[in-house]
Structure 1
Amino acid sequence: MAQLLRDIRNYQGTFVVQSAFRLSPLMFQRPGEIRQMLWADVDLVAREWRPYVSKTDFHHIVPLSNQAVDLLEAVQPLTGGGQYVFPSSRGDGRPMSDNTIRTALKSLGYDSDVMTAHGFRTTASTLLNEQGWSPDAIERQLAQTPFDQVRAAYNRW
């Protein structure tokens, strides 16, 4: 994991893609939610991102770490005038492509059998569980609902 984070830090893509890529392991949200992040849902003063999570049909509160706030403040002068934090490079009013982070990982030598954009969620869950964090808190941060159904899917014994 440490090498992956170093590789992400040294990634040479566009600044907007670098920012989305670096934010992924900090927030461990679904890749589609990160790439479709709206400036209207980001409150840098409160240090929160409050997206509507369509997959689970509720509004989610994602606390922003110092590193996440720094990344968002750095990209804001470039994209803050638009709707999306990470817009398409085509300038057509759409969010960044769903292949962008996958392509970035692949360019660093991480094929899908090693790491995926969604894998940041799995890695975060594993590490937080190993460190003894509350399983309920982890599930809430991952925006998994209903919690008991998710837990049951993983605990089949």
Structure 2
Amino acid sequence: MEDYKPKYKGTKALPYTIYGLWLVLYTMKRPHEVCEGKWSEIDFEQKLWRKDAESTKTGLENDECPLSEQALKVLTELHKITGDFEYMFPSGAGNLHIVPETLRKMILEGLGYSVGELTTHGLRGMFSTTGNELGYNFKAVEKQLSHNIGNEVSQAYNHAKYLRMRRQVVQKYADWLHVQANKARKRKKHTSSEHDSPEQVNCIAV
């Protein structure tokens, strides 16, 4: 796994670790689903991530997760690194793929967060809260989170995947994330410039 040495921009995290974080953000999949993701599950043409029932939390039905343009870009870049492997996040420790705890640890250490400060559960909660506040379709949001909708009777009859609405939701949310990231970069740049020398400011501007 020596090829994974290059670091992500401004952090100690390895590239494919950061891609794992982005995939959680863009798809709302649980960490174990991301870690266990196989390249054979990705349909770049149809922009879908297909997982069989055994890989889902409920284990009851197959899942087709729509992919935003940003998620496809992440997967394209990740494929350049691990495309020759069966799993998208292969392990160098004798396992077929990295385990969720390893992904969490590498993300936290790489980005400089402490335990509990950043959690994948919190990221999924942010998607649910933001989606509902911005008026996203409730059923599409819940289905994207792999949550059951309705009572046991309705679940037994309703097998809709809400793909069209989910595709709209994941793209809107990915766009929203990038708007927030750009705002954060501008705030950080403004804060840094207030404490830097003129030479440092010019360097940042470049």
* TM-score (normalised: structure 2): 0.61
1:11/1:43 Cα in 2 relative to 1: closer, same or farther (>3 Å)?
Answer: farther
Q: How does 1:2-41 map to 2 (within 5 A)?
A: 10-41=10-41
> 2:36 and 2:73 mapped to 1: Cα distance?
19
Query: Aligned to 1:85, what secondary structure does the other structure show?
Result: coil
Bigger shift: 97-106 or 116-125?
97-106
> 1:10 and 1:30 mapped to 2: Cα distance?
26
Query: Aligned to 1:106, what secondary structure does the other structure show?
Result: helix
Q: Higher Cα Rg: structure 1 or 2? A: 2
For the Cα contact (< 8 Å) 2:56–2:63, is it kept in 1? Answer: no
1:45/1:9 Cα in 2 relative to 1: closer, same or farther (>3 Å)?
Answer: farther
1:133 aligns with 136
1:111 aligns with 2:115: yes
For the Cα contact (< 8 Å) 2:35–2:98, is it kept in 1? Answer: yes
Partner amino acid, structure 2, of 1:127:
T
Per-residue CA shift, 1:73-116, capped at 9, x if unaligned?
A: 111122122211111133x351112112321343222421x321
Partner amino acid, structure 2, of 1:18:
I
Partner amino acid, structure 2, of 1:102:
R
For the Cα contact (< 8 Å) 2:50–2:63, is it kept in 1? Answer: yes
1:49/1:16 Cα in 2 relative to 1: closer, same or farther (>3 Å)?
Answer: same
Gaps of at least 5 residues in structure 1 are 1-7, 150-157
> 1:70 and 1:121 mapped to 2: Cα distance?
21
More helix by share: 2
> 2:102 and 2:46 mapped to 1: Cα distance?
29
For the Cα contact (< 8 Å) 1:84–1:95, is it kept in 2? Answer: yes
Gaps of at least 5 residues in structure 2 are 1-7, 152-206
1:94 aligns with 2:96: yes
> 1:15, CA displacement in angstroms?
1.9
* TM-score (normalised: structure 1): 0.78
Query: Aligned to 2:100, what secondary structure does the other structure show?
Result: coil
Partner amino acid, structure 1, of 2:102:
T
Query: Aligned to 2:32, what secondary structure does the other structure show?
Result: helix
Q: Percent identity?
A: 27
> 1:56 and 1:9 mapped to 2: Cα distance?
37
Query: Aligned to 1:61, what secondary structure does the other structure show?
Result: strand
> 1:44, CA displacement in angstroms?
1.1
1:43 aligns with 43
